[in-house]
Amino acid sequence: MNTYCKDKVAVVTGAGGTLCSAIAIDLAKKGAKVVLVGRTREKLEKVENEIAASGGICCIEPADVTDEAAMRNMADRIAAEWGPCRFLINGAGGNNVKAMPTRLKFCEKDLCDSASLRENNDLPADHGFFDIDMEAFKSVLEINTLGTVIPSRIFALQMAKAGGGAILNFASMNTYRPLTRVAPYAMSKAAIANWTMFFAQYMAPAKVRVNAVAPGFMVNERSKQYLMTPDGGLSPRGEQVMHHTPAGRFGEAEDLLGCVNWLLDDSVSSFVTGITVPVDGGFLSSAGV
């Protein structure tokens, strides 16, 4: 087994989610001391229990990754107990249904003033981009951008002092193409690729590498709601996605692990930094015709 991370500290944000929990569990199996960061303790405890059952080492740190003071205090505690962070997986992020229109294109209805509806949080089922909640829009931008920048600023300094490390950010298919209905999410994920390049060149003298993965359409609780029907079939949106996915299936969390380990492991990727790697079953390669 590859043990490049044995006895080293790996901080995983968004560790309660489907993708990052799999990454955290895999790192723990390889001997890393894994810090599970997320907003919901119950989700983190499930991951903690699985790691403990396999003999791994981890700790739970419920935290908001956009709270710089809280993240800094957490980083100081971890360093004092376990040593400096050597791997940071920036998996925290998300979307907000209040920032998602149901209509896909401009129409005459967009000319109607629905400010009163927005104020009452009572949007009609059929609503457009001009009806969405801008505070929700801002919240999506914040969690997906500052939620990556803030942990990177804090833990990259620990890596630099320790002689090096690796940071892995999470981009998306939206990094390359703004998918319908998710404007702030797409905007923020495009920013992640740009941030990855910026921070990679900035941290290179400190031997800190910065890369990103861009997962394709993966199976998790959120994606099931819009890609699948209750009986396990494909929704209309799921059918569209599958029509553009040459691999002919949705991705599983385990499909990310090979790429993640390659990007984190200095013994095989020491000359790789500043890139975003799609893990998408060929989605970006397909025009769908």
Kindly state the average pLDDT of the residues 216-228. Answer: 83
Cα–Cα dist 211/217, whole Å: 20
Q: Among candidates 21, 61, 58, which has minimal Cα distance to 41?
A: 61
pLDDT digits (tens, 9 = 90+) for 69-89: 999 999 999 999 999 999 999
Global pTM value: 0.94
- Determine the pLDDT at residue 138: 98
pLDDT above 60 for 116: no
Catalytic residue among 4, 185, 202, 226: 185
What are the backbone dihedrals phi and psi of residue 91, each rounded to the nearest 5 degrees, phi first?
A: -100, -5
Kindly state the average pLDDT of the residues 209-224. Answer: 90
Structure token digits, residue 238: 């799921």
- Determine the pLDDT at residue 272: 98
Residue 215: strand pairing partners: 279
Active site residue 185: yes
Domains of the chain: 9-223+250-285 (3.40.50.720)
- Determine the pLDDT at residue 125: 86
pLDDT band at 220 (very low <50, low <70, confident <90, very high): confident
- Determine the pLDDT at residue 225: 78
pLDDT above 80 for 123: no
Cα–Cα dist 283/242, whole Å: 9
Q: At what angle do helices 41-53 and 18-29 cross, to 10 degrees?
A: 30
Contact, 128 vs 101, CB < 8 A?
yes
User: How do strand 9-13 and strand 85-90 relate by DSSP bridges?
Assistant: parallel
Cα–Cα dist 48/53, whole Å: 9
pLDDT digits (tens, 9 = 90+) for 42-63: 999 999 999 999 999 999 999 9
- Determine the pLDDT at residue 24: 98
Between residues 265 and 124, the one the model is more confident about? 265
Between residues 156 and 123, the one the model is more confident about? 156
| Residue with token string 């930094």 | 273
Q: What is the mean pLDDT of the chain?
A: 94
pLDDT digits (tens, 9 = 90+) for 130-187: 999 999 999 999 999 999 999 999 999 999 999 999 999 999 999 999 999 999 999 9
* CA 147 to each of CA 11, 94, 97, 152: distance values in angstroms, whole numbers, following the listed order: 14, 10, 19, 9
280: DSSP letter: S
